[in-house]
Amino acid sequence: MGILDKYVAKQVLLSVLLVTVFLLILVGLITFIDQMRYIGRGEIGFTFLIGYLGLQLPGILVLYFPIAVLMGGVIGLGVMARSSELIILQSIGISRTGIVLSALKLLFPVILIVFAIGELVVPRMEQYAANQYNLYASNGSISITYDGLWLREGSSFIGVRYTMSDNSLMDIVRYDFDGDDLVAVSKAKSGSYQDGIWQMHEVSKTIYHDGFVTPLTLETEDWKLNLNPDRVQILGQNSIGLTIDSLIDYITYLELNGQESDTYRLELYNKLFSPLATVVMLLLAASTVFGPLRTMTMGARIVAGFALGFSFYVANQFGAPFALVYGIPPLVGSLLPTLIFLALAVYLLRART
């Protein structure tokens, strides 16, 4: 990096980091105030909530970092524009694109670091936070983490009333079919996962064969399923909170059982393209400084940049799911809003007043 590259990059990166800290403090404070209503549940107190909030901060960082890039980009480049530094840079032959690329040289590694935090740190910390909350709220007893799951395993349908924080299952029912014919119904009081097999306890089983009904009562019964505790947890989570590895594993599991996987594929592609979406946020910020909006005041630029970023967010949140409704492939549905706003940002950057 040259001297000018470093100068531009540091100005933008500093603004982005300051906005990130501001958003973390603001959102963290709002979250903490909201969670104070939990005080008194079991062993939950003020000290616990402070630690609980600390476990949530990485997730807040990942969620709001694209907004920080947008606002930080508007502020950082806007301050340089107000002091005529951008005009000087362009007068010595550095193009608008070159200035934006200079800003990206330091910012893009930070984007990748935040992406890595979202993949490697956030899921584990959020799961640990949820387990700690359940543990303290139940006065130290093993607590229920998910409620009411149904899944399909080949020609069998399995319902789980409760899954526990130690990955055991409670109140399980299984319906086995041969084509359209019901051949067996099994009910288990509990189940635990050992060496790749679910061991069910206190099983009541009814077998239907050639017009006869045979009831059985078993102390234990082994169920060999493709399902494992990690996949059980995925069933009880929002797909947004899953890692790329978890999504790929679960997509494979769904497709092996002949089930629809487009929703999870869409979330997988959204995660893979999230660094590109953050870069688009910076380009949208730059477009408010270099493009037709450059004559506006700093406050107006921030509002305009926020409006553009919010429009991009809405397009990602609602446009991609609509693509599934109309049969558009998940890859196209995930990438299309990003490409549209990328084209818009490039157009605004090149527009002349």
| Distance in angstroms (rounded) separating the CA atoms of residues 320 and 267 | 9
Which residue type, as a one-letter code, is found at position 133? Answer: Y
Handedness of CA 97, 103, 106, 112 (dihedral sign): negative
Q: Which residue shows structure tokens 């051949």?
A: 183
Tokens of 144: 């229920």
Exposure of 325 by Cβ count < 10 A (0-12 exposed, 13-18 middle, 19+ buried)? exposed
Q: Which residues pair with 159 in a beta bridge?
A: 150, 173
Q: Do residues 106 and 13 touch, judged by C-beta distance below 8 A? A: yes
Amino acid 138: pLDDT: 67
Say which residues have a Cβ less than 8 Å from residue 268's Cβ, sequence separation at least 6. 244, 247, 248, 251, 330
Amino acid 276: pLDDT: 92
| Distance in angstroms (rounded) separating the CA atoms of residues 42 and 138 | 5
Helix (H) or strand (E) holding 203: strand 197-209
Amino acid 305: pLDDT: 76
DSSP three-state, residue 205: strand
| Distance in angstroms (rounded) separating the CA atoms of residues 194 and 254 | 22
Tokens of 89: 């840079």
- Which of 227, 260, 264, 261 minimizes the C-alpha distance to 243? 264
Amino acid 353: pLDDT: 45
| pLDDT 10s digits, 335-345 | 888 999 999 88
Exposure of 73 by Cβ count < 10 A (0-12 exposed, 13-18 middle, 19+ buried)? buried
DSSP three-state, residue 171: strand
Please tell me what DSSP assigns to residue 318. I
| pLDDT 10s digits, 66-82 | 999 998 988 888 888 78
The long-range contacts involving 158-163, CB below 8 angstroms and separated by at least 24 positions, are 158/225, 158/227, 160/232, 163/232, 163/233, 163/236
Q: What is the mean pLDDT of each run of 10 residues along the chain (353 residues)?
A: 81 93 95 90 88 93 92 87 80 81 89 92 84 74 58 83 75 89 91 88 90 89 82 61 82 78 85 91 85 62 78 78 78 88 85 55
pTM above 0.95, yes or no: no
Exposure of 193 by Cβ count < 10 A (0-12 exposed, 13-18 middle, 19+ buried)? middle
Handedness of CA 168, 237, 267, 281 (dihedral sign): negative
Please tell me what DSSP assigns to residue 317. I
Amino acid 80: pLDDT: 84
| pLDDT 10s digits, 190-244 | 898 888 889 999 999 999 988 788 999 999 999 888 777 777 766 655 555 678 8
The long-range contacts involving 254-261, CB below 8 angstroms and separated by at least 24 positions, are 256/226, 257/152, 257/153, 257/154, 257/226, 258/152, 259/152
- Which of 333, 164, 127 minimizes the C-alpha distance to 242? 127
Handedness of CA 214, 220, 221, 225 (dihedral sign): positive
